[in-house]
Amino acid sequence: MTITSPALAALAGDPAALAEHLSTAGGPLVEPAPENLGSVLVTFVWLGEAERVSIRAGQLFADHLAPSHALDRLPGTDIWHRSTVVRADVTSSYQYIVDEPAAGDLIADAFEALRRQVDCWRADPFNPRRIYPQTGIIAGRLDLPEHQWDSILELPGTEPAPWFTPAGAPAGTLVQRRLTSAALGNERQVTVYRPPSGQGPFPLVVMLDGECWTRVADLPTALDNRIADGSLAPVVVAFVHTPEVADRPGARIRESTCDPALTTMLAEELPPLLAEFDVTTDPARTVLAGNSLTGLAAAFTALHRPEVYGNVLSSSGSFWWGYADHPVAAVLGGKDGEPEWLTRQYAEAPRVPVRFWLDCGVLEAGNVPWIPGVDPRAANRHFRTVLRAKGNQVDYYEAPGGHEFVSFRRNAIRGLCALLPGGQA
């Protein structure tokens, strides 16, 4: 691959100067893209001896379905590089994979293969902005050292979001509880955030995929900061974790794809567990939140139990789901011969008194072969349109990012401040 970055071409002959430039820049090389108005040329660079280097970079490359993208090595050097053109306001994440096992060396067990790959992950040593990788949780490793985390890409037009940096705001407390569900036949952890101040009964937010919101997104820090600056009302947040079963990813898929048993758990078994935290029982001040498949699950639950959950927050909800006659149904299930099953249920049902915050990333648009019928952004737009036609209040936001927590967490804080505003909102 030829060098497309003028900066890399100028510095390639002096690795020490290149390293200094990368350190000063705080990560990849970012340069103008004259032929693409509103975009920049981003060049990812890895320095070091290796047999092969690749990169996981969200949806920053055109072929964003590939699990990773190979970097090219400059002949006679230990400089590895790959460039892409990206909107100048995008926020995303990336991670280098150094000497990952060759495809022929990976064993049949997909999750054991993932655990082996984890050992090859490397954060960008020149970029101090990092986030715990969601795939680290999927792989069953909750204690990855920071040099194996994802690096955060913030481009020149990125909107500042200082809420995830501790700023001396009064801190809420986290309390652990156990929930045994008869409806689902499993057990899980619930991490409850209590605000540092305020008087009950408090608004309640229930967030599915709780371990990701606390470990990956670091949402408690943002809650502290937004409550302190008056943008968000003091709230109790119940982070409901994925069940602790051997087939954890499979259990998440089964529960999240419009399972009535999950609705029963959320509407009948969870509220008694949270009563000790002086939370409201008013559905208008109760939010059910999720991302991706759990965004779908939140909307399904609200359709059937609006007397419990009067607000839904969905970050990049999987509203394309439902097409049973497609190969993807072998993994993700399905309902009938068309996509967007839940959207059609809302269209046909009587209006429910539920307010919605929906967001989706601009990088989620386009043809995605493993998603049948419609791309994620189009599916979110369709769901928004149907809800508004039914008379529901809908806040809809297309974020300059992709399907990942570095974008989800920004959007979720926006959504919470819109649904449960504080006195200074």
Average pLDDT rounded to a whole number, residues 306-324 = 97
Whether 369 shows a pLDDT value over 70: the answer reads no
Q: 345 with 359: CB under 8 angstroms?
A: no
Ordered by where they begin, the domains of the chain are 6-154 (2.60.40.10), 162-419 (3.40.50.1820)
Q: What is the mean pLDDT of the chain?
A: 92
Whether 263 shows a pLDDT value over 80: the answer reads yes
The rounded distance, in Å, linking the Cα atoms of 230 and 163 is: 12
Whether 111 shows a pLDDT value over 70: the answer reads no
What is the structure's pLDDT at 355?
Answer: 98
* Residue % of the chain over a pLDDT of 90: 81
- Secondary structure (3-state) at 269: helix
Q: What pLDDT band is residue 135 in, cutting at 50, 70 and 90? A: confident
- Secondary structure (3-state) at 292: coil
Whether 106 shows a pLDDT value over 50: the answer reads no
What is the structure's pLDDT at 197?
Answer: 93
The token pair that represents 247 in the structure block: 């087939």
The rounded distance, in Å, linking the Cα atoms of 320 and 332 is: 11
- Secondary structure (3-state) at 323: strand
Angle of CA points 61, 64, 70, to nearest 5°: 65
Q: Which tens digits make up the pLDDT trace of 13-22?
A: 999 999 999 9
State the DSSP H helix or E strand holding residue 315, giving kind and residue range, or none if neither: strand 311-315
Q: Which of 94, 121, 126 is nearest to 19 (CA)?
A: 126
Q: 123 with 148: CB under 8 angstroms?
A: yes
Average pLDDT rounded to a whole number, residues 205-225 = 97
What is the structure's pLDDT at 397?
Answer: 98
| Terminal Cα-to-Cα distance of the chain (whole angstroms) | 50
What is the structure's pLDDT at 63?
Answer: 73
Q: Which tens digits make up the pLDDT trace of 377-404?
A: 999 999 999 999 999 999 999 999 999 9
Close Cβ partners of 2 (under 8 Å, ≥ 6 residues apart): none
Q: 384 with 396: CB under 8 angstroms?
A: yes
Close Cβ partners of 170 (under 8 Å, ≥ 6 residues apart): 196, 197, 224, 228
* Residue % of the chain over a pLDDT of 70: 96
What's the pTM? 0.94
Q: Which tens digits make up the pLDDT trace of 7-65?
A: 999 999 999 999 999 999 999 999 999 787 889 999 999 999 999 999 999 889 877 66
Angle of CA points 112, 116, 120, to nearest 5°: 155
Whether 367 shows a pLDDT value over 80: the answer reads no
Whether 157 shows a pLDDT value over 50: the answer reads yes
Q: 204 with 283: CB under 8 angstroms?
A: no
Which range is least confidently modeled, 50-64, 261-275, 292-306?
50-64
The rounded distance, in Å, linking the Cα atoms of 354 and 302 is: 7
What is the structure's pLDDT at 390?
Answer: 98
Angle of CA points 420, 206, 415, to nearest 5°: 35
Whether 325 shows a pLDDT value over 60: the answer reads yes
What are all long-range contacts of 26-30, with beta carbons under 8 Å and residues at least 24 apart?
A: 26/126, 26/127, 26/128, 26/129, 27/124, 27/126, 27/127, 27/129, 27/151, 27/153, 28/94, 28/124, 28/127, 28/153, 29/5, 30/155, 30/156
Q: Which of 402, 397, 386, 319 is nearest to 359 (CA)?
A: 397
Average pLDDT rounded to a whole number, residues 364-372 = 76
Close Cβ partners of 246 (under 8 Å, ≥ 6 residues apart): none
The rounded distance, in Å, linking the Cα atoms of 317 and 331 is: 17
Between these two residues, 247 and 332, which has the higher pLDDT value?
332
Whether 95 shows a pLDDT value over 60: the answer reads yes
